[in-house]
Amino acid sequence: MKMYIVGAGPGDPDLITVKGLKLLQEADVVFYTDSLVSEALVAKANPEAEVIKSSGMALEEMIEVIASRIKAGKKLVRLHTGDPAMYGATMEQIALLKREGISCEIIPGVSSVFAAAAAVGAELTIPDLTQTLILTRAEGRTPVPERERLSELAKHHCTIALFLSATLTKKVAKELLAAGWSEDTPVAVVQRASWPDELIVRTTIANMDSDMQKNGIRSHAMILAGWALSPDIHEKDEYRSKLYDKTFTHGFRKGVQA
């Protein structure tokens, strides 16, 4: 017996994988978080499928509903926003379903971090500038382990993507500054990336909090911070990868003398 955990993507119903869509169309039961997954995607399921919304349910109730359908021989797809591996609370579902003799197969999805990067046209790992992206969140009601304090992580001066942090921007700015980031470090905030009402706010660490307030952004937003987000970095053409450098030899191409 198996449950399929499918990454629904960031919002645009076309941003689901081919495999995920196929499973969605084959499912007898579709179980999804109605506050986060697009209705337009759920509408792609078989019209005969039973559709169950999970946002009002506690974990135990969810497991009971899911297990009853799967034990009755139904094919059940659990849609998770973005990619299920990021803040998807999948582990607790998998653990309880295992006790019921039900295993899970996970189909990855397009995380909002990559939909946000696409929306602002950014490469998050720019050669010679940064080769690292940290995916994290600011500490709010959900604790973050002490050793993962933003002020410590940010000492790498790489690109940082913050989930679940739209109401914590004062704290985020304070911690980034404490790590030695300058006030003019570029920040791109994307609310509802890939949805029809997507909103992009380009700002800096110093102005992030007031700019988000001005734009009424308090939820469903990805905060991308670091110099890779500089709007004019592509125009300057200062940073080039080795991959397309004509003097660089690699497995598929021999470099020529400069």
Contacting residues toward ligand SAM, per CB under 6 A: 10-11, 81-83, 86-88, 111-112, 115-116, 163-164, 190, 192-195, 220-222
Residue nearest to ligand SAM (CB): 82
Write down the least CB distance from residue 255 to ligand SAM, Å. Answer: 38
Closer CB to ligand SAM, 6 or 193, in the complex: 193
For ligand SAM, the closer of residues 83 and 175 by Cβ is 83
Which CB, 195 or 248, lies closer to ligand SAM?
A: 195
| Element spanning 99, H or E | helix 90-99
Least distance CB 8 / ligand SAM (angstroms): 9
SS (H, E, C) the chain: CEEEEEECECCCCCCCCHHHHHHHHHCCEEEECCCCCCHHHHCCCCCCCEEEECCCCCHHHHHHHHHHHHHCCCCEEEEECECCCCCCCHHHHHHHHHHCCCEEEEECCCCHHHHHHHHCCCCCCCCCCCCCEEEEECCCCCCCCHHHCHHHHHHHCCEEEEECCCCCHHHHHHHHHHCCCCCCCEEEEEECCCCCCCEEEEEECCCHHHHHHHCCCCCCEEEEECHHHCCCHHHHCCCCCCCCCCCCCECCECCCCC
Nearest-approach distance from CB 172 to ligand SAM, in angstroms: 12
**Nearer to ligand SAM among residue 5 and residue 116 (C-beta):** 116
Cβ-based nearer residue to ligand SAM, 83 or 139:
83
Residue 241 Cβ vs ligand SAM, minimum distance, rounded to whole Å: 26
Shortest approach of ligand SAM to residue 221 CB, angstroms? 5
The minimum distance between CB 129 and ligand SAM, in angstroms, equals 24
Return the number of the residue (88 or 186) whose C-beta is nearest ligand SAM: 88
